[in-house]
Structure 1
Amino acid sequence: MIYGRLDNVDLEQATLPEAVLEGLRFLKETNLENAPEGRIEIDGDRIFASVQDYDTRPAEANRPESHIRYFDIQYVVSGEEAIGFAPLNAGMRAVEDHAEERDILFYDTVAGETSLMMPAGSYAVFYPWDVHRPGCAVAEPGKAVRKVVVKVRVEATP
């Protein structure tokens, strides 16, 4: 997992993998406040983005998830949310496996989960070895969030 602020990318670019930088450049160069909800093509199925508008919910209302073929760059355009995260441990078993059709696995519980506060302008990179629980309320549920999730195929990493 990597956490950062989009306005610091120029300072941090030497420390980030090129595939992550590709996604962050898209986020920096695109007017995301006015982008329509839905999928935005960046480089076919290798890198694409999804613009999402939703209200935060209590953490227990959101399911922890992981991915196999893609890693996520989750960027909060406006609002704020908490994202739970933890390492994917060998003993963890998915309760719903949609890996083939949607590249997502869901879990009931996650040992050692920590909350990451995501104010507007922040991003987090979640790799296939990370479990994450997005869309959680920071203080009270129902706060509007605009988020962009850039999906980067794992084979795209150097």
Structure 2
Amino acid sequence: MIYGRLENVAAEAATLPENILEGLKFLERTDLAALPEGKVEIDGDRMFALVQDYTTKPKDTVRPEAHKRYIDIQYVALGREQIGIAPLAKVSEIAEDLLEDKDVCFYSNAPEESMILLSTGGYTVFYPWDVHRPGCSADAESVVRKIVVKIAL
């Protein structure tokens, strides 16, 4: 997992993997407020973005998830949310396995989960070994505009 702010990408560029940097540069150069909800093509199936507008929910109503074929850069363009993070190696109880069709597996719980607060301008990078629980309310519900850049492994 990587945690950062888009405003610091230039300073961190030398420390980031090339594919992650490419995804962050897409976020930097794009008018994110003007994007419609849904899928935005960047480079075919190798890299694309999902634009999401939603209201955060209580943590206990959001299922932890992980992906197998894609890395996620989750960027909060507007609002604030908490995201849970836990090691996949500690999670065992699968609630719903959609890896084959939709590259997502949902889990019933996330032992050793830590919570991260993301506000406008913040991003996280989740790898396939990172179980994450996005869209959780912090102090109260928040309207969020999130862009998830999906990067094929």
TM-score (norm 2): 0.98
* Structure 1 residues 91 and 123, CA gap change in structure 2 (3 angstroms): closer
- Identify the residue that residue 96 of structure 2 maps to in structure 1: 96
Is residue 77 from structure 1 mapped to residue 77 from structure 2 by the alignment?
Answer: yes
Q: Cα RMSD over matched residues?
A: 0.9
1:133 aligns to 2:145 (yes or no): no
Q: Give deviations 1:9-28, integer Å, cap 9, x for gaps.
A: 00000000001001001000
Matched residue, 1:49: 49
Q: Distance in 2 between matches of 1:90 and 1:50?
A: 28
* 1:93 CA displacement: 3.5
Cα distance in 1 for residues equivalent to 2:94 and 2:66:
9
Unaligned runs of 5+ in 1: none
1:91 Cα offset (Å): 5.6
* Residues 33-44 of structure 1 mapped to structure 2, 5 A cutoff: 33-44=33-44
TM-superposed CA distance for 1:130, in Å, is 0.2
- The runs of 5 or more residues in structure 2 that have no matched partner are none
- SS of 1:111's equivalent? coil
Which residue is equivalent to 2:124?
Answer: 124
- Partner of residue 112, structure 1: 112
Shift of 1:90: 5.8
Task: Tell me, in whole angstroms, the C-alpha distance in 2 between the residues paired with 1:11 and 1:91.
Answer: 35
Does structure 1 retain, via aligned residues, the 8 Å contact 2:90–2:110?
A: no
The residue type paired with residue 44 of structure 2 is G
Give the SS at the match of 1:140.
coil
Offset of residue 135 of structure 1 = 0.2
* SS of match in other structure, 2:52: strand
State the distance in 2 between where 1:93 and 1:138 align.
Answer: 25
8 A Cα contact 2:53 2:145, kept in partner: yes
